[in-house]
Structure 1
Amino acid sequence: MTLLTSALPQDRTDRILLIASAILALVYLVDTFGVSAPFPLNVVIKATGVALLALYAVRQKHLVLGAGLALGALGDVFLALDQSVLPLGIAAFGLGHLVYIWLFAQWRFKAGARGGMSRILALLIAVLGLAMLNWLQPHFGELRVAASVYNGIILVMAVLAILGRAPTLAMIGALLFVVSDSVLAVRLFAGELDWAGPVVWICYYLGQAGIALGLARAKLP
């Protein structure tokens, strides 16, 4: 609780943006339980919550972070549309993670290593991620290359978040993003975990929010 409270802004407009984002995320969560909003309102609700996080980052003059979050919001739009634009959704999220990789790399190489058990945790995440990627290969179909590259990118992002001295909230956000994408991949490509929609959304939104709140106002040494 102290970690989250310290990351919350004092500025009234910033607080309104974050509260509005959280409310929209909650509305979309209710939507996933069957209280469905009509199309395209459901798409607007889904994407706007993350878009407001991007706006919050921009207001903190963190334009690079804002760009990464905006790419996530764009990916939300593509994933909510027809399956034919799924590759565009993967591309948008992949570019967003490349932005996060750059940010976490800055913390790793300018602020130093996190130390402690971080190397063991990073290795564990990498091994589990590669094992899942290998298991899902037969299910990727025509998206085999794109999905494999994307999964490699998010693993690199998570490993850098763990190894570097990025704010703890941002690291937790990165790990939640990995959980969300892992469950989504199993559901989307393997056709399993039909019940996992709310889990995917909760972990995804909290992941984006953790990265946004963790990095937006943090200053590199």
Structure 2
Amino acid sequence: MSKHGLIVLIIITGLFYIFLAPRDPLFVSVLFKVIPMIGIILYAYLRIIRTSKVTSFEKVMVVGIIVCAVADAAIAITFIAGLVIFLLGHIVYICGFAMKINWSLKHFSIIIPLLIIGAVYGHLLIQNIQSQEASLIGPVVVYIIVISVMVVMAFLTRNPFAMIGSLLFYLSDAVLAWNMFVESLTYSTVYIMSTYYSAQLLIAHSINKIANKS
């Protein structure tokens, strides 16, 4: 299958999960949820395979996508397990992006607005968690910090696909947390999963481009 055909398949399977896939039994729901991620992993793999040697950066980033796919399945079973595995996925992404960053002070100006947004949202979220699930405050704070660092690192690569992908990942998680701890949102699955699949696909697309950047 061509890469373009695979993208179409990813979109179709993603839309099927969001709008049509059964939510019971759980095994079937998780299976349909993970199928688009398997497609994204394959897409990333096809993009990095070429005549020259696959770089360490590319390997690390593909591992990051795989870890997130595992987290996808886990979070449907237990929130805390999914949170921890997604946390590991972000750490893998951070390690990958760090390999391709040109460390320059002028590039760090992007950190300030991202940190402000993260701090404001985190404060609002933690206020609500405190009144419901106080035991989750620590893990959620750590997660917000780590995903914020991941977004910053993606921006420091200066690759537009990685930048937009990381922001969509952040948005997906923000909507998920808001829906869980603040108020139930109509069509929450549509918002959460459409941004999430788009995020992972854009990050997968960015890998080869970042690796080949001079």
Do these two structures clear the TM 0.5 threshold for a shared fold by scoring above it? yes
- Aligned with 1:54 (options 41, 44, 50): 41
Paired with 1:192 and 1:109, the residues of 2 have a C-alpha distance of 41
Q: How many residues align?
A: 202
Asked if 1:71 is matched to 2:67, the reply is yes
One-letter amino acid of the structure 2 residue matched with residue 157 of structure 1: M
Paired with 1:201 and 1:42, the residues of 2 have a C-alpha distance of 13
One-letter amino acid of the structure 1 residue matched with residue 89 of structure 2: G
Contact 2:71 2:82 (C-alpha < 8 Å) held by counterparts: yes
Q: Give per-residue Cα distances to partners, 1:89-118, cap 9 Å, x unaligned.
A: 1111111111111222233336x5774973
Contact 1:105 1:160 (C-alpha < 8 Å) held by counterparts: yes
Q: Give per-residue Cα distances to partners, 1:166-214, cap 9 Å, x unaligned.
A: 3101100100111110110111223432542211111111111111112
Higher mean alpha-carbon deviation, 182-191 vs 90-99, is at 182-191
- Aligned with 2:150 (options 152, 157, 165): 157
Task: Classify 1:80/1:65 alpha carbon distance in 2 versus 1 (closer, same or farther; 3 Å).
Answer: same
Asked if 1:140 is matched to 2:140, the reply is no
Asked if 1:105 is matched to 2:92, the reply is no
Asked if 1:186 is matched to 2:172, the reply is no
Paired with 2:81 and 2:108, the residues of 1 have a C-alpha distance of 39
Q: Kindly state the Cα deviation for residue 120 of structure 1 after the two structures are TM-superposed.
A: 4.7
Paired with 1:38 and 1:213, the residues of 2 have a C-alpha distance of 32
One-letter amino acid of the structure 1 residue matched with residue 144 of structure 2: N
Asked if 1:36 is matched to 2:22, the reply is yes
TM-score (norm: length of structure 2): 0.81
Task: Classify 1:22/1:159 alpha carbon distance in 2 versus 1 (closer, same or farther; 3 Å).
Answer: same
* Corresponding residue SS for 2:96: helix
Task: Classify 1:145/1:137 alpha carbon distance in 2 versus 1 (closer, same or farther; 3 Å).
Answer: same
Paired with 1:113 and 1:208, the residues of 2 have a C-alpha distance of 28
One-letter amino acid of the structure 2 residue matched with residue 159 of structure 1: V
Contact 1:113 1:165 (C-alpha < 8 Å) held by counterparts: no
One-letter amino acid of the structure 2 residue matched with residue 27 of structure 1: F
TM-score (norm: length of structure 1): 0.79
Q: Kindly state the Cα deviation for residue 74 of structure 1 after the two structures are TM-superposed.
A: 0.9
Paired with 2:166 and 2:17, the residues of 1 have a C-alpha distance of 21
Larger relative contact order, structure 1 or 2 (CA cutoff 8 Å, min sep 6): 2
* Corresponding residue SS for 2:136: helix
Asked if 1:207 is matched to 2:194, the reply is no
**Identity fraction in percent:** 27
Paired with 1:122 and 1:95, the residues of 2 have a C-alpha distance of 21
One-letter amino acid of the structure 2 residue matched with residue 23 of structure 1: I
CA RMSD of aligned residues (A): 2.5
Paired with 1:191 and 1:152, the residues of 2 have a C-alpha distance of 22
